[in-house]
């Protein structure tokens, strides 16, 4: 079997950021990243790709170019964890042992959880921003829409970037308006949640946005099946249990998501399947040498890249402290950020912590829609991501 001092599972946002920070602290550390994919995606851009503001390729880089200098890339899937023996296995049959383990394989998209979705997505009016393969179909549909009912869904349970399901709805509505066809369209936001946003300060603004746009909201509506032949979307009304059928001409689906199966089935998981870590130290609740951050972790905050930017330095500081026999001093406060795009020239930059209190970066009221914040999302944040965050610099 192979041994590394620090093994990182997943070379996505969290895995690369942690690896870069570890090696910036000490270039002699023995760090390995287990990541099966040749490509790495800056997923926050997919909202803008779906809205026709960016090309899909702009979100994609070769994984090989992002693995920090000094780290070893093991190109494989992790299959099982054996934390009692500081060991894991991969799909190709390798056993890898470690002194410290960082688990960051992201969230799993459960395309199969909606009847008919897998076959329908990408075709005849059904689209989704939630994969590189399908995000192009969103823009195709928005661009070619000539009127009728456009439905945008948000599932029950955790999703990455809680605001993303509505961003694409706001963009599409704005596009239809600019094309002069808005009066021929019904724009419907059908969400399993009870309200538009979890934090009051931003919810107030977003409620006004919905009103101004004339978007029809259907809260507590959870998509459960798609019938592409009759263009019907079948929802469950979560309070009454009743079945609601809506006809669509265009349907943007945010698929249900959950903990990756191989994590949920392992001794590392909590009852909901996420890697069970302390919400402040990011150390595993039962295994002192296991750590987690990002979408696969149990951290009870909105799952975003912005959150990982604040989690990574805490994890790295605490892991190195543990390794050196010191006490864990760094603490994560649940900071997360959700740039809610409300149109082609406006964005509400929500930032908040575990207590759902605003934790804003800029010295102005961020609950206002602003053009400057849209520019930040389109140009500023991607640069910060590729050149700052993934290099362990910010
Ligand atoms: P990922 O970046 O998804 O990486 C997980 C990695 O683990 C992948 O490379 C995968 O190949 C690998 N992996 C999977 N299984 C295995 C295995 N068995 N073994 C080894 N490796 C494995 N965030 C924001 O901050 N702002 C936004 O505006 C925003 N908007 C978004 C819009 C959309 C449409 C989407 C989809 C996401 C958005 N996000 C946004 C969320 C953000 O992209 C994620 O929160 C972030 O990428 C999570 O990082 P991660 O490292 O946990 O997972």
pLDDT digits (tens, 9 = 90+) for 177-236: 999 999 999 999 999 999 999 999 999 999 999 999 999 999 999 999 999 999 999 999
Q: Are residues 328 and 218 in the same domain?
A: no
CB 79 within 8 A of CB 90: yes
> Does residue 264 have a pLDDT over 90?
yes
Q: Are residues 250 and 118 in the same domain?
A: yes
> DSSP states of 159-220 as a string?
-BSTTHHHHHHHHHHHHHHHTT-GGGEEEEEEESSSSS-SSHHHHHHHHHHHHHHTPEEEET
Quote the pLDDT of residue 394.
87
Query: What percent of the chain is modeled with pLDDT above 90?
Result: 99
How many angstroms separate the alpha carbon of residue 296 from the centre of ligand 1?
Answer: 9
Task: Using DSSP, state whether 360 is helix, strand or coil.
Answer: coil
How many angstroms separate the alpha carbon of residue 107 from the centre of ligand 1?
Answer: 7
Question: Residue 146 is part of which domain span?
Answer: 111-256
pLDDT digits (tens, 9 = 90+) for 92-150: 999 999 999 999 999 999 999 999 999 999 999 999 999 999 999 999 999 999 999 99
Ligand 1 pocket test, pick from 138, 158, 164, 390 with the greatest ligand atom count within 8 Å of Cβ, gives 164
The residue whose CA has the least distance to atom 32 of ligand 1 is 44
For the chain, the average pLDDT equals 98
Quote the pLDDT of residue 24.
98
Regarding the beta carbon of 302 and ligand 1, being less than 6 Å apart is answered no
54 is catalytic: no
Regarding the beta carbon of 294 and ligand 1, being less than 6 Å apart is answered yes
pLDDT digits (tens, 9 = 90+) for 47-71: 999 999 999 999 999 999 999 999 9
How many angstroms separate the alpha carbon of residue 148 from the centre of ligand 1?
Answer: 33
| Chain center to CA of 26 | 29
Q: Are residues 298 and 212 in the same domain?
A: no
Q: Are residues 48 and 121 in the same domain?
A: no
Q: Please state, in angstroms and rounded to a whole number, the distance separating the CA atoms of residues 392 and 153.
A: 35
Alpha carbon separation from 335 to 79, 166, 355, 373 (Å, rounded) = 31, 21, 9, 18
Q: Please state, in angstroms and rounded to a whole number, the distance separating the CA atoms of residues 292 and 282.
A: 6
Q: Are residues 66 and 95 in the same domain?
A: yes
CB 113 within 8 A of CB 255: yes
185 is catalytic: no
Regarding the beta carbon of 381 and ligand 1, being less than 6 Å apart is answered no
Alpha carbon separation from 210 to 61, 146, 197, 252, 257 (Å, rounded) = 35, 21, 12, 17, 25
> Does residue 1 have a pLDDT over 90?
no
Phi, then psi, of 21 in degrees rounded to 5: -65, -40
Query: What percent of the chain is modeled with pLDDT above 70?
Result: 100
Quote the pLDDT of residue 328.
98
Residue 352's H or E segment, with its range, is: strand 346-352
> Does residue 265 have a pLDDT over 90?
yes
Structural domains counted in the chain: 2
Q: Are residues 242 and 275 in the same domain?
A: no
Mean pLDDT of 328-339: 98
How many angstroms separate the alpha carbon of residue 13 from the centre of ligand 1?
Answer: 6
Q: Are residues 118 and 221 in the same domain?
A: yes
Residue 301 lies in a domain: yes
CATH of residue 153's domain is: 3.50.50.60
| Token code pair at residue 287 | 């295994």
What single-letter DSSP state applies at residue 156? S
Mean pLDDT of 154-169: 97
Mean pLDDT of 300-311: 98
Q: Are residues 233 and 128 in the same domain?
A: yes
């Amino acid at each position: 079997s192979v041994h590394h001092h620090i093994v990182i599972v997943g070379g996505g946002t969290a895995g690369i950021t942690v690896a870069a920070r570890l090696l910036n602290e000490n270039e002699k550390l023995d760090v390995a990243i287990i990541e099966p994919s040749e490509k790495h995606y800056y997923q926050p851009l997919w909202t803008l790709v779906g809205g026709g503001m960016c090309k899909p390729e702009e979100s994609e880089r070769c994984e090989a170019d992002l693995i920090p200098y000094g780290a070893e890339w093991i190109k494989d899937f992790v299959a099982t964890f054996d934390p009692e023996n500081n060991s894991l296995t991969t799909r190709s049959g390798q056993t890898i042992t470690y002194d410290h383990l960082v688990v960051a394989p992201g969230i799993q998209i459960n395309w199969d959880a909606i009847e008919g979705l897998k076959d329908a997505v990408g075709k005849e009016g059904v689209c989704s921003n939630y994969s590189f393969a399908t995000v192009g179909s969103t823009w195709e549909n928005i661009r070619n829409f000539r009127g009728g009912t456009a439905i945008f869904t948000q599932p029950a349970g955790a999703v990455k970037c809680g605001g993303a399901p509505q961003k694409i709805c706001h963009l599409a509505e704005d596009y239809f308006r600019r094309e002069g066809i808005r009066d021929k369209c019904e724009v419907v936001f059908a969400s399993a949640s009870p309200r538009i946003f979890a934090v009051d300060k931003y919810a107030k603004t977003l409620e006004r946005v919905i009103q101004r746009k004339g978007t029809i909201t259907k809260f507590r509506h959870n998509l459960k099946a798609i019938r592409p032949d009759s263009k019907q979307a079948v929802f469950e009304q979560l309070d009454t249990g009743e079945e609601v059928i809506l006809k669509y001409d265009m349907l943007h689906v945010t698929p249900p998501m959950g903990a990756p199966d191989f994590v949920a089935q392992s001794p590392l998981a909590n009852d909901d399947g996420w890697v069970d870590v302390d919400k402040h130290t990011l150390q595993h609740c039962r295994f002192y040498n296991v750590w987690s951050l990002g979408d696969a972790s149990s951290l009870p905050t909105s799952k975003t890249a912005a959150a990982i930017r604040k989690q990574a330095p805490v994890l790295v500081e605490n892991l190195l402290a543990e390794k050196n026999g010191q006490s864990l001093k760094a603490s994560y406060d649940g900071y997360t950020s959700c740039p809610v795009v409300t149109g082609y020239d406006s964005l509400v930059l929500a930032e908040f912590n575990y207590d759902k209190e605003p934790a804003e970066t800029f010295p102005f009221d961020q609950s206002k829609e602003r053009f400057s914040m849209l520019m930040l999302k389109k140009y500023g944040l991607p640069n910060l991501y590729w050149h700052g965050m993934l290099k362990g610099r910010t």
